Amino acid sequence: MAVLSAPLTTVAQAAATPTASFAKVSEWGSGWEGRYTITNSGASTITSWRVEFDLPAGTTVGSYWDATLTSSGQHHTFGNRAWNGTVNPGASVTFGFVGTGPGAPVGCRLNGQPCAGGSTPTPTASPTPTPTPTVPPGSTPVAANGQLRVCGRQLCNARGKAIQLRGMSTHGLQWYANCATAGSLDVLANEWRADVLRISMYVQEGGYETDPRRFTDLVHNYIELATARGMYAIVDWHMLTPGDPNANLDRARTFFAEIADRHRAKNNVIYEIANEPNGVAWSAIKSYADQIIPVIRTRDADAVVLVGTPDWSSLGASGEGGGPDVIAANPVTAGNVMYVFHFYAASHDDYYLDTVTRAADRLPLFVTEFGTQEYTGDGPNNFTMAQRYLDLFASRKISWVNWNFSDDFRSGAVFTTGTCGAGQFSGTGRLKEAGVWIRDRIRTPDDF
């Protein structure tokens, strides 16, 4: 994919004013992803920024991230978020958006001055970070597999071949949206070679219920980012308390109707309709699924749907909600459905491993969340037990997603604290022990 950036002039002295450079980092059909990098080349800290430009007629702005946006006709103004307005001397911040149409920004101004730095020439080196090498066209997971479906107990690609997807889950978007950015997802797709991104949108705990419009738009943005990088996108309705998914039934109907409406033409969206049901029997979870799945199916007839299982999606191993036999005796009445299993290796021992082994003989499974730590996402790692699970999943071609792609202080977050604010995601220098371990296992070649 071509990277088109604004030309920079060469001078002998450093620029005294901040600059903003634009690049099209990917293009597809009628759309493209654009990115601005704001670099503070002066001696004083910038405490806020505003980038404004015009787009030619016929070109529009769709999804955007890491910025606010106001538009008037073809004139668009992006401003900083609360957490990325400060730019120290020598530092940079980025924001991005999806454009539709053939044009590109013109007449850019940063805080009222020309984006190239006014009358002071810009530095020789481009302030745009060197892009991570892109995946060759046609070799991305979505390009290789197309629309997924469930065949028997397996996840299969468009040609009917059983496949295994491997990837990462975001942390809660209300807390760690700055860890899932265009830059970090470049690294996830191209360095880690991930097949799938799980977009973890909490319903409570400061999530969707507090601002449905904001969180729905965030999910739209992340679907577009995953799509541009050729990854599958799991839309995770991340419910925990209350544990009965029916308590949020109306909210779920509204949310999934809009998501499926917007993205129905895509072949990479997977719907996880209830993250971790708990405190309720399988019959209650099934009733919820039987009501939500038609909302999706009337809009997106072919997508795979993932249904949570009793007792925090442990397939009933953590309580009395019903195990694999109960689910198999009364399955969800819809096609292209898989059942969810979660585990944390330092807490969930042979009993859980035996449970998922038995379940794999009867049910199509997708592991949408696991960690090498305790069930809290913290504590010591048990890589030996985690590898036993992954060996089983490899032998059965059960797809998995690790928790989580953030710099949370807990041991289950892959990045060290402060990584996301610094925007330094490439390589292994900012990874925790679990981050290095899971990156190595995602990077092994796929059998597509």
- Segment 107-123, tens digit of pLDDT: 999 999 999 986 433 33
Give percent of the chain with pLDDT exceeding 90: 78
In a domain, 448, yes or no: no
**SS3 at position 99:** strand
- Interstrand relation of 196-202 and 50-54 (parallel, antiparallel or unpaired): unpaired
In a domain, 123, yes or no: no
In a domain, 131, yes or no: no
pLDDT, tens only, 262-303? 999 999 999 999 999 999 999 999 999 999 999 999 999 999
In a domain, 53, yes or no: yes
Residues 103 and 205 in one domain: no
Check whether 126 has a pLDDT greater than 50.
no
In a domain, 135, yes or no: no
Q: In 294-364, at which residue ranges do the beta strands (DSSP E only) sit? A: 305-307, 337-344
Residues 203 and 97 in one domain: no
Residues 315 and 407 in one domain: yes
The encoded tokens of residue 63 equal 């999804």
In a domain, 134, yes or no: no
Residue 8: what pLDDT? 37
Contact 240, 281 (CB under 8 A): no
Residues 160 and 82 in one domain: no
Contact 414, 408 (CB under 8 A): no
Among 120-129, 251-260, 305-314, the least confident range: 120-129
Give percent of the chain with pLDDT exceeding 70: 90
Domains contained in the chain, number: 2
Whole-model pTM: value is: 0.74
Residues 108 and 221 in one domain: no
CA distance 154 to 400: 13
Residue 16: what pLDDT? 56
Residues 264 and 363 in one domain: yes
Residue 122: what pLDDT? 36
In a domain, 83, yes or no: yes
Q: Which single residue is written with the structure tokens 């920024």?
A: 49
Residues 22 and 153 in one domain: no
Distances (CA, A) of 305 to 9, 247, 352: 51, 20, 23
Range of the domain at 396: 141-443
Residues 159 and 108 in one domain: no
In a domain, 161, yes or no: yes
User: Which are the catalytic amino acids?
Assistant: 276, 369
Which whole number is the average pLDDT over 425-444?
97
CA 369, 435, 396, 334 torsion-angle sign: positive
- Residue 32 is part of a domain; what is its CATH number? 2.60.40.290
Count of residues in the chain: 448
- Rounded to the nearest integer, the mean pLDDT of the chain is 89
- Residue 418 is part of a domain; what is its CATH number? 3.20.20.80
